[in-house]
Structure 1
Amino acid sequence: MPLAWIGGRGPRDGVNGLDRLAWPNVRVDAHGRHWAFCLGSTCLLAILWFLVDRDLHEAAWIRQWDRIGSANRQLHLVLVENLPAGYRDASSLGTWYRQQLGDVLEGVYVIEDATELARHMADAKETGEKERRLSQRIARSRTGPPGEDCDAKGVIVQAHQSLLRLKGSPSALIQFKDGRIAWYVAHTVSWPQAGHMRPHLLDGSVDDLVFENLGPSWEAAGSSSAVGSVVIAASMALCAPLISMTGTLSQLDSVARLVPHGQVILAWPSWLKGLVQGVAPQLAVTCILGIFPHVLRAIVRRQRRPTALEVELAVDKWYYDFLFVFLVLNVSISVAVTTLLAQVADNVRSIPFILAENLPKAATYFSSYVVTSTLLACGRDLSQQISLLRYAVGRLWSPRWTSPSPTLDSLQWGFVYPRVEIVACIVIVYGPSSPLILPLAFLSCALMSLSYRYLLLYVVRVEVETEGKLYLLAIRHLLFAMGVQQVYCLGLFSLNAVDTGSPHSFVQAAIVAVSGLVTFLLDRHVRRQFSPLFVYKPWSGMTVGCIHDRAGQEQARRAEKIVREARATLALRACAVDVEH
């Protein structure tokens, strides 16, 4: 793209830094850049549509069949909650399920008496651990880091001891022989009486079970989920003014004129104000973003989610919403509004035009944020500051102190994806207004990729199998950012068309509207193609082989039947010919 199309051709008086490359700084008649961007976005969406339609459906089903791994690790467990009276022991509960489904049960374990289940699951996990280590020699991508603890019996028994102390309505874990039967029971079979025997499929491996959250009643699960959502929303609302303040810290002169006793700030030397404006916003955002995820995870775990995968999915969704809404939108509005309060007071009707002209100035703030946050996040993850601090404090507390955790720290996927997604969303939303943010974002993403590759090999260990669901959420989050950027461009072109009456602006607005429709259809298409990852049908490799064997046997029987019928027909015809003669 020529440099003239990138921007900077408008007036330069009073415009400094990256603001020269903003949309409002481009002359109205210089519409070539608008055309190039709209056509490029349309071509990119067309290419993505072609790739999705061609490959994603097959890839989703391949992942659907292959993601389970060893049959010993997949126990085909169904959690049945709130057992009614008369069905609170293993014999009566197993009898009822055998009457409904036949001989499909592997075992029935009431949670109040989970000793046998603890032993069974510990043996299964040990066997699965051995098979997983053998498979890691073949699949390099699944190789775990050194230092992982192999003895899992003690961990499982300890978890079940804490499980035995749970109080509440009785529940049971039912193990089935086939994963398809478990899926069928979890989605269709339930107790005729309302509020009893709610089935829930525990579709992960043994490592994914959160034993503290197993067995809540129907009312307790619903109330804890609702209360947790309200608490998370309140926490996000509490962080809103804090994040707004981070944007105002970069404009101390404007804030000092609005707040009382602001002359003290104006009296600061220029080097001190420059230091505060350059360091304080990034430092404040980093502190808030470092504290909020841990609070969010603690609240989500209190929502009675039985598997670690569901916990990671909930953390990913809420964390991304927090980053996008309050970091992108809230900071952008605060940066624009704090400098334009005087103009808004003079002319209230000019608010849409003022926002459309000054929101791109937030790109300067985000250019520094992308670099600073990436360096701080990678440095914090690689140095493992919390683990080092825990080790140092423990040694000072007692000279005989030893680490209670012989294994490496577990990787929390709910914190990984949103950090990368927010950088990509910033690029998508503010790339047209500030193209210089593109190389900074590319370098940041490359640095995070190298950092997490090193983390997976030497620093952390992976325990939770995400099953590709976080990848689908990442794609949908990026498509949502594209929709926000297209709404922003549509509003800009529409305001420009109404203000100037230029026919080119109407055409550009129409192109952006069509691109937004294509983005919406692409999001629906991606969700439909990846639907097998959300509607879980646990087909292991052994199950798929049995299905193919049965299909082959059925075809062989049909072919043999056709041959027998053909031979019988030929024999009858021969007999008829003999009778005639």
Structure 2
Amino acid sequence: MDESFANSFAKAQQFYGISLSSFIASVSLSTVIFTLEVLVFFIVRKRLPDLYTTVPEDVDTTRTTRKRHIVANFVRFERHHKHFDRYFFRRYLRSLIVIFTPAALLITPILVPLNYTNGKGAVLGVSGLDVLGWSNVGLDQADRYWAHLLFSLVFIGHVCWVIWSELALYVASRQHAPNAALCTVLVDSIPDDWMSEKVLTSQLEVFPGEVTAISFNRDYSAISKLAERRERMARALETAEISNIRKACRAGVRKQSKKSSSVRCLQYQSRNLLKLFGWLRLEKVDTTLVYREELRKTGEKMDLYRAALKEFPPLRSAFITFANPLAAHMVCQTVIHTSSGHMTPRTMPLSVDDVVWSNVNITWRDRTLRTILSNVLIVATASACVFPVALAGLLSQIIYITQAVSWLSWINKLPQFFLGLLQGVLPPTLVAILIKGFVVVLQYLVRKQGISSRSHIDLKIQDYYFCFLFVQVTVVISLSAGLTAIANEMTHGASLAATLAKNLPKASNYFLSYILLQGLSISANALLRIDCLVGKFILSPIFDKSVTQMMIRRRGRDLEWGTFVPVFTNLSCIDGGGLFYPKALKHLLTGLYMMQVCLVALFLLVRDSQGKAKCIGQACIMVFAIGMTVVYHHLLCRAFNPLLSFFPTALKDTLAKDSTLSPPFLHKALASSPTISIPRDDHGFGSTRTLQLKAELKGVNISNTDAIINGSGDMCLR
């Protein structure tokens, strides 16, 4: 072994890593893009108030008071906030700053000079950005690793303190959450002999208060299909009417009397519905007449359905409303039925929009089968991503591959800047694109598991997505990037222990680029909202032919916390009442375990110039730290897990005081009513058509206050 180590270090690889140029390329490109996006934001912010609306806050506008408010808001944070998801996401970002700022200000200025001074240097194969890291510590300077151990223990204790204090604050703040005083429980898989209000009420009378309402769900699939058809007809009619008005305005038709303007407007009615069948010599039919007739028929049919709701077959699920919100929380935590699977799951939907109506009629057996199949497909999809992610890790260390594979030597002849882009920018970009594709598949598969609450779906997506990010972006990248250099040196006779100790830390170069790319791009994109700009100026003029389409594009998509939060969690290792927050904090412990295990391995791999292990003591202390972290994790879960989803009986008075009468959880198809938005114009065509449609279409909302058409026929939102 001693001879092997001697041969290894005698050969002294003469590789000059370009990790420094890769880092500079990542910094320069990301900084340039970040600066340009921020500059564009400040230029267009006031010119596009519809995209960059500000949310006013009730604070003093004086400069001194405003600065004091910003500082106090960062340091303390008010607990009583209207939107808990936004509040706790801001709090999570603050927690990350509290964790990493002391580390950056205290640990980095000490460890970087310690690693750099009298290090191995290029003579022993360490160059570029690696000279600032762990792998550059001199062979006979193993005592410096005690500083690494000390700061690691301090950092571990600091992270554990932040997580405990933040979870304690979260539990104290949850009594003001929107789901604190909810009184309605959605119960699935109700057995057949319990499918009556009398039986259910008798079974639930053991809970405090009384059952005020029981609403059994029914199979309203026929109404849902009819509502979807009516919505499509409304969108088609809106598009056709707007097309007619724009044609009339462009033709320069002057506004006259109500009768004449109506006649003139009909000259521009769309008659394209049957033009495709012109060879049949059929009579031309006005498409707007067809759409209006279809809307009337579907509206009348829906009225008949709504008048006979009890004729629809019942489903084995129900919304149960209690007078006391404490009873609702107790029902969700109590074993109610003796048979497995019955009366489960029991959830407290935040609102009607939180209910996934297509999943409320799924039995527990079907839900279990769906979950198993979904998990298998998720694992298979994640496994298929291993190869491209590993390829990205190899690209981040391409310079070492060129030394081992001779036919790739032409890469060394590329300019340093292009090499930096190849190693520093391309790998994280490829990983980001791959992650976007995986997110689409993940969201679809989780929603097919049969979960009846959208907020619970987001929480499950958060767990899956974090695991994917951690394994693919952290573990696979680390192994592939580090093994690139390891395999290269092993071909030259180097020992495994020595090469592992020197080259595994080099994988951190990729994460410097990844963090810069994610941090700068996400922050700048959040400000500029490039997708909204592209939609407004490019996609909207081409594809948006109705007011509703333009309004949907302006409103944008809802923020999906399940896939938004894990990105920040993984970089450092949410309105559902902030339920994302405790999960995100616990995910930090995964990164903590990973750091500790890597430190143990690196301590064990440290060798001096004689090939002897020099950091056994540090490794043993870190193993003890892992054990203490496990104990801390157990105590953390035992202390806070029962308080994260439900409320203790000690808050019964507060919950009773804050409780309000829950609105009925009616199926969305029963209360659906399409809206047709007609734009206004200078000639009065829009106002005329609005009055006509209101008179003809009952049960359809007709509005003409959302958009206008100018003299040239161009439409814009108001």
Superposition TM-score, scaled by structure 1 size = 0.68
3-state SS of the aligned residue for 1:198? coil
Cα distance in 2, alignment partners of residues 51 and 289 from structure 1: 29
Cα deviation, residue 239, structure 1: 0.9
Please point out which of 542, 545, 562 is paired with 1:396: 542
Please point out which of 107, 111, 131 is paired with 2:213: 107
What are the within-5 Å matches in structure 2 for residues 452-531 of structure 1?
A: 464-467=575-578, 469-496=579-606, 505-531=615-641
3-state SS of the aligned residue for 1:27? coil
Q: What residue identity is the alignment partner of 2:342?
A: H
Cα deviation, residue 200, structure 1: 0.6
2:480 matches 1:334: yes
2:421 matches 1:315: no
Listed as ranges, the gaps of 5+ residues in structure 1 are 119-156, 426-461, 549-581
Q: Mean Cα displacement is larger for which, 14-23 or 241-250? A: 14-23
Give deviations 1:71-124, integer Å, cap 9, x for gaps.
4xx2x2222223333544x54454544666596112111110789xx9xxxxxx
The answer for the alignment partner of 2:511 in structure 1 is: 366
Cα distance in 1, alignment partners of residues 459 and 180 from structure 2: 24
Contact 1:8–1:20 (Cα < 8 Å) also in 2: no
Cα distance in 2, alignment partners of residues 502 and 165 from structure 1: 83
Give deviations 1:504-533, integer Å, cap 9, x for gaps.
622222222222222222222322332234
Please point out which of 134, 138, 147 is paired with 1:36: 147
The answer for the alignment partner of 1:351 in structure 2 is: 496
Contact 1:179–1:539 (Cα < 8 Å) also in 2: no
Give deviations 1:147-193, integer Å, cap 9, x for gaps.
xxxxxxxxxx9xx99x9999995321111112222233233253345
Give deviations 1:228-266, integer Å, cap 9, x for gaps.
111111111111111111122234465567779757767
Give deviations 1:445-473, integer Å, cap 9, x for gaps.
xxxxxxxxxxxxxxxxx8x2243x43222
Contact 1:168–1:216 (Cα < 8 Å) also in 2: no
Give deviations 1:291-318, integer Å, cap 9, x for gaps.
2223222221112222222122212211
**Structure that is richer in helix per residue:** 1
Contact 1:213–1:305 (Cα < 8 Å) also in 2: yes
The answer for the alignment partner of 1:19 in structure 2 is: 130
The answer for the alignment partner of 1:544 in structure 2 is: 654
Please point out which of 84, 91, 113 is paired with 2:191: 84
Q: What residue identity is the alignment partner of 1:109?
A: S
The answer for the alignment partner of 2:324 in structure 1 is: 178
3-state SS of the aligned residue for 2:567? helix
What are the within-5 Å matches in structure 2 for residues 152-163 of structure 1?
A: none
Contact 1:65–1:539 (Cα < 8 Å) also in 2: no
Please point out which of 230, 233, 236 is paired with 2:382: 236
3-state SS of the aligned residue for 2:319? strand
2:543 matches 1:382: no
Question: Number of matched residues?
Answer: 461
Cα deviation, residue 343, structure 1: 3.9
The answer for the alignment partner of 1:213 in structure 2 is: 359
Cα distance in 1, alignment partners of residues 135 and 406 from structure 2: 33
Contact 1:64–1:532 (Cα < 8 Å) also in 2: no
Contact 2:378–2:445 (Cα < 8 Å) also in 1: yes
Instruction: Give identity over the alignment, percent.
Output: 25
Contact 1:249–1:277 (Cα < 8 Å) also in 2: yes
Q: What residue identity is the alignment partner of 1:78?
A: V
The answer for the alignment partner of 1:411 in structure 2 is: 559
Cα distance in 2, alignment partners of residues 44 and 269 from structure 1: 40
Cα distance in 1, alignment partners of residues 395 and 312 from structure 2: 48
Q: What residue identity is the alignment partner of 2:324?
A: D
In 2 relative to 1, CA 283–91 (structure 1 residues): closer, same or farther, beyond 3 Å? closer
In 2 relative to 1, CA 384–165 (structure 1 residues): closer, same or farther, beyond 3 Å? farther
The answer for the alignment partner of 2:333 in structure 1 is: 187
Give deviations 1:357-383, integer Å, cap 9, x for gaps.
211111222212211222222334434
In 2 relative to 1, CA 185–276 (structure 1 residues): closer, same or farther, beyond 3 Å? closer
What are the within-5 Å matches in structure 2 for residues 218-297 of structure 1?
A: 218-252=364-398, 255=401, 275-297=421-443
Cα distance in 1, alignment partners of residues 535 and 650 from structure 2: 42
Q: Mean Cα displacement is larger for which, 326-335 or 505-514? A: 505-514
Give deviations 1:397-433, integer Å, cap 9, x for gaps.
35445435374532222223222222222xxxxxxxx
3-state SS of the aligned residue for 1:403? helix
Cα distance in 1, alignment partners of residues 310 and 649 from structure 2: 32
In 2 relative to 1, CA 514–25 (structure 1 residues): closer, same or farther, beyond 3 Å? same
Cα distance in 2, alignment partners of residues 164 and 231 from structure 1: 39
Cα deviation, residue 52, structure 1: 6.4
Contact 1:179–1:537 (Cα < 8 Å) also in 2: no
Cα distance in 2, alignment partners of residues 26 and 364 from structure 1: 17
Cα distance in 1, alignment partners of residues 312 and 412 from structure 2: 60
In 2 relative to 1, CA 404–302 (structure 1 residues): closer, same or farther, beyond 3 Å? farther
In 2 relative to 1, CA 398–471 (structure 1 residues): closer, same or farther, beyond 3 Å? closer
2:572 matches 1:424: yes
In 2 relative to 1, CA 410–166 (structure 1 residues): closer, same or farther, beyond 3 Å? farther
Contact 2:174–2:577 (Cα < 8 Å) also in 1: no
Cα deviation, residue 534, structure 1: 3.6
Give deviations 1:513-557, integer Å, cap 9, x for gaps.
222222222222322332234451377977337699xxxxxxxxx
Cα distance in 2, alignment partners of residues 274 and 236 from structure 1: 29
Cα distance in 1, alignment partners of residues 323 and 374 from structure 2: 35
Cα distance in 1, alignment partners of residues 399 and 171 from structure 2: 58
Q: Mean Cα displacement is larger for which, 315-324 or 282-291? A: 282-291
2:114 matches 1:5: yes
The answer for the alignment partner of 1:124 in structure 2 is: none
In 2 relative to 1, CA 299–17 (structure 1 residues): closer, same or farther, beyond 3 Å? same
Listed as ranges, the gaps of 5+ residues in structure 2 are 1-108, 225-301, 659-718
Superposition TM-score, scaled by structure 2 size = 0.56
Q: Mean Cα displacement is larger for which, 230-239 or 492-501? A: 492-501
Cα distance in 2, alignment partners of residues 168 and 235 from structure 1: 37
Contact 2:191–2:343 (Cα < 8 Å) also in 1: yes
Q: Mean Cα displacement is larger for which, 507-516 or 537-546? A: 537-546
In 2 relative to 1, CA 276–107 (structure 1 residues): closer, same or farther, beyond 3 Å? same
Contact 1:107–1:175 (Cα < 8 Å) also in 2: yes
Cα distance in 1, alignment partners of residues 378 and 174 from structure 2: 32
Q: What residue identity is the alignment partner of 2:572?
A: A
Q: What residue identity is the alignment partner of 2:582?
A: L
CA RMSD, aligned part only? 4.0
Contact 1:203–1:538 (Cα < 8 Å) also in 2: no
3-state SS of the aligned residue for 1:514? helix
Q: Larger RCO: Structure 1 or Structure 2 (Cα < 8 Å, ≥ 6 residues apart)?
A: 2
In 2 relative to 1, CA 294–538 (structure 1 residues): closer, same or farther, beyond 3 Å? farther
